[in-house]
Amino acid sequence: MVESLQRHLDRQRVSAGMGMDSAGRQRQLLQDKYRLDRSDGSVEPVLIRGVRRRLQPMILVIFVAAIVFYYAFGLRYIYRYRLGPSGLEGRWFGIRTLYVPYRDVEEVKVISFQESLGYGMRTVRAGNRFSGPVVVVNKRSSWLRNVVLLTPDDAETFANELRQRVASGQ
């Protein structure tokens, strides 16, 4: 590829009747316009190289924004909570992935999202929102996980309904 570029410059110099200095300047202009990669002989326009360099961070930002947008707005349609006849259920695409019987619920309270960040490893985080009020369900007996954190649409209403069902032993 380098040889063909050199031949092209020589032909232009001869046809235009230019001296060596003009051809050298023209070669320098073409080398400024194109980046010559000597290892494999490929020629890459500097313009494309610059655009690619500028697009890579932008693509990363768009990818991260899409993940945050999905988690903040889309997950609530995929992961849902339901107060069933015998216990609290968490369903992911309609499949029950979380079940807490009403008889195992010790306490139900609503806290802020910032407060929920302080809960440790013995917590099941079944949230479907990026932020907002969090319903904390403390379980009476559990071998591994004692606390379940939920983020329903209306946290106060959900917590009150759950408290009523726990109190009635339904």
For the chain, the domains span: 2-59, 77-168
- Counting Cα atoms < 13 Å in the Cβ hemisphere of 95 gives 3
Confidence of residue 50 (pLDDT cuts 50, 70, 90): low
CA nearest to 153, candidates 145, 161, 165, 142: 161
pTM over 0.85: no
pLDDT at 59 over 80: yes
Q: Give the pLDDT confidence of 129-138 residue by residue, as tens digits.
A: 777 898 999 8
Fold observed for domain 77-168? PH-domain like (2.30.29)
pLDDT at 12 over 70: no
Q: Can you spell out the DSSP letters for 99-161?
A: EEEGGGEEEEEEE-HHHHTT--TTEEEE--SSSS-EEEEEES--SS--EEEE--SSHHHHHHH
Full 3-state SS string of 70-99: HHHHHHHHHEEEEECCCEEEEEECCEEEEE
Q: Are strands 79-83 and 147-150 parallel, antiparallel or unpaired?
A: unpaired
